[in-house]
Structure 1
Amino acid sequence: MKIKITERYEAVVVELKGNVMGGPEAAEFSETLKKLLSEGKNKIVIDLSDVKFMNSSGLGMLISGLTTVSKEGGKLKLAGMGDKIESLLMITKLITIFETYENVDAAIASFN
């Protein structure tokens, strides 16, 4: 998994690419979120449009990220999920705890 950060308007887009499998990558993801929060950047969109596969550890990583951001008074939203990721969230009922959007632009617009 690769992580790319871009700032768009008042939000930060964290783009994940490849396979989201947790493990050492989960620590990197967590540190990225903590760094953004420490800089006062608390409107975060996770762009999943280039994620090919996600396992249960990857889901755990997203849940942990949501918890971390929420505890600091921020908002974390998911955008650009493919059918596989969306069905994974539906099957696990996690779709109910995340704010999800078709694309990054819609997620960013929802902050206003």
Structure 2
Amino acid sequence: MKLNVEEQIQRTVTVTLEERLDVVSAPQLKRALEEYMNQGVNQFVIDLSTTPFMDSAGMAVLVTLLRRCRMNGGNVKLVWPQHEPVQRTLTLTRFDRVFEIIGRA
């Protein structure tokens, strides 16, 4: 999985996922996010705008990240995906109500 990571001001990390977020790639994402959390980062923006697919393993990583960030006074924002299957997944699972969404039309 190719992860583009950009650190921003106020210890916010933006991660852009350009490939599938699934059972194969989710562990890699989880490890990368845990490294940042261990450094004290508790604000994340997960850019799903170009992510073509997301399954339950990917969703589990996002929920775990959100829970840990909120426990430490932080938050996770999701950039609304362009691909309809991922949009549908976020809507059907109500992730669009749990996470703060950026760029939803």
TM-score (normalised: structure 2): 0.81
Q: Distance in 2 between matches of 1:9 and 1:89?
A: 28
2:31 aligned counterpart, secondary structure: helix
Greater strand share, 1 or 2?
1
Matched-pair contact (CA < 8 Å) for 1:22–1:60 = no
| DSSP-derived class of the 1:13 partner | strand
Tell me the amino acid that sits aligned with residue 58 of structure 1: G
The one-letter code of the counterpart of 2:93 is T
Q: Please list every run of 5 or more consecutive structure 2 residues that lacks an aligned counterpart in the other structure.
A: none
- Specify the alignment match of 1:74 in structure 2: 74
Question: Unaligned regions of 5+ residues in structure 1, if any?
Answer: 104-112
**Conservation of the 8 A alpha-carbon contact between 2:80 and 2:87:** no
Instruction: Check if 1:31 corresponds to 2:31.
Output: yes
Root-mean-square deviation (CA, aligned residues, Å) is 1.9
State the partner residue of 2:99.
98
Distance 2:7 2:44 in 1: 9
CA distance in 1, matches of 2:80, 2:97: 16
Distance 1:64 1:90 in 2: 18
Q: TM-score, normalised by structure 1?
A: 0.77
Deviation at 1:20, TM superposition (A): 0.8
Residue-pair matches, total: 102
CA–CA distance in 2 between the matches of 1:16 and 1:88?
16
Q: Which residues in structure 2 correspond to 1:16-95 (within 5 Å)?
A: 16-23=17-24, 25-82=25-82, 83-95=84-96
Deviation string 1:30-72 (CA, Å, 9 cap, x unpaired) is 2222221222222110011120111222222211221222223
Q: Which amino acid aligns with 2:71?
A: K
Bigger drift between 40-49 and 28-37 goes to 28-37
Identical positions, percent: 28
